[in-house]
Amino acid sequence: MTTLTIGTRGSRLALWQANHIADRLRELEPGLVVELEVIKTRGDKILDVPLAKVGGKGLFVKEIETALIEGSVDLAVHSMKDVPAELVDGGMLAAVPEREDPRDALVSRDDIALADLPRGARVGTSSLRRRAQLLERRPDLEIDMLRGNVDTRLRKLDEGQFDAIVLAAAGLSRLGFGERISEYLEGQGWLPAAGQGALGIEVRESDERTRELIERLHDPDAADCVRAERALLEWLGGGCQVPIAAHAVLDGDALRLEALVAHPDGTPILRESGRAPRAQAGSLGRRVGEALLSRGGQEILDELLAAE
């Protein structure tokens, strides 16, 4: 093995993530040549429609997975929050590296916190999950669609199109915008997207040599937390169309999972949590998901899916 090609989206954040993995691989295998192949996904092409209305799963990974299976790239670097529960036939998740900060972050023009935004302030996000939690805390806010890469979203904020925007803290940190964060959104039940802050490296099942190299980047702690979160997401059948959040943390030799299902308008929001040995990460996610469904989550999901 002398050359590996990484399939990646073309945004600055995606390229940062792919280059980060490329650098790690070069450290592991001196002399290895790692190249990047930029692939435009459906989610990158449709920028004037809310993600919830674009529909379908894998909006930011499908075309990259196709290139992987066809052999034009050797591995794919994904943001785990974009990866559907089921991978493409012939693909496998070989590694989840150490996780970055999973929290959401508020960036405001006046560098003030969510509670201090003026009544009726305009807040930008493309996420129904973020919308629901914003409106739960501040039902007076005007929540408007904001699509595009991190640089585009920050530019729209700076131009005065929004009073504040909500982004993933990990993306801001990776791109050197950490100082722009006005407030980390956490506590009081605020939860991130399943897999947020984590990367996933997908390879072909049949490519044993690449898989063995990639597995050396695997972080079991991050992987177990993400596995619980994704198991919940899969159990609920959630995608961009449904406000679902999940966050798992290690608690000794166990995992503690917090999750929610919400109506996009911020009410109701149903929350549930659970704890289990880390070896039971998948069953923990399913158990917490089932508890949410039985408490009224099924009615929320049915209403939202019927409205599509």
CATH of the domain at 239: 3.30.160.40
The residue whose two tokens read 């039902």 is 139
Q: Looking at the annotation, which residues are catalytic?
A: 82
Residue 192 lies in a domain: no
Which value, to the nearest 10 degrees, does the dihedral of the CA atoms of residues 181, 244, 63, 147 take?
Answer: -40
The string of pLDDT tens digits covering residues 121-153 is 999 998 999 999 999 999 999 999 998 899 999
Mean pLDDT of 276-305: 94
Q: Give the Cα separation of 263 and 136 in Å (integer).
A: 10
Q: Looking at the structure, tell me whether residues 40 and 67 fall in a common domain.
A: yes
Residue 91 lies in a domain: yes
Mean pLDDT of the chain: 92
Collapsing DSSP to helix, strand or coil, 249 comes out as strand
CATH of the domain at 91: 3.40.190.10
Residue 26: count other Cβ atoms within 10 Å of its Cβ.
14
Residue 273 lies in a domain: yes
Closest CA to 146 of 126, 162, 129: 126
Residue 193 lies in a domain: no
The string of pLDDT tens digits covering residues 241-266 is 679 999 999 999 999 999 999 999 88
The answer to whether 250 touches 139, Cβ cutoff 8 Å, is no
Q: Give the Cα separation of 296 and 292 in Å (integer).
A: 7
Q: Looking at the structure, tell me whether residues 214 and 230 fall in a common domain.
A: no
Collapsing DSSP to helix, strand or coil, 153 comes out as helix
Residues ≥6 apart with Cβ < 8 Å to 271: 189, 258, 259, 260
Q: Looking at the structure, tell me whether residues 211 and 258 fall in a common domain.
A: no
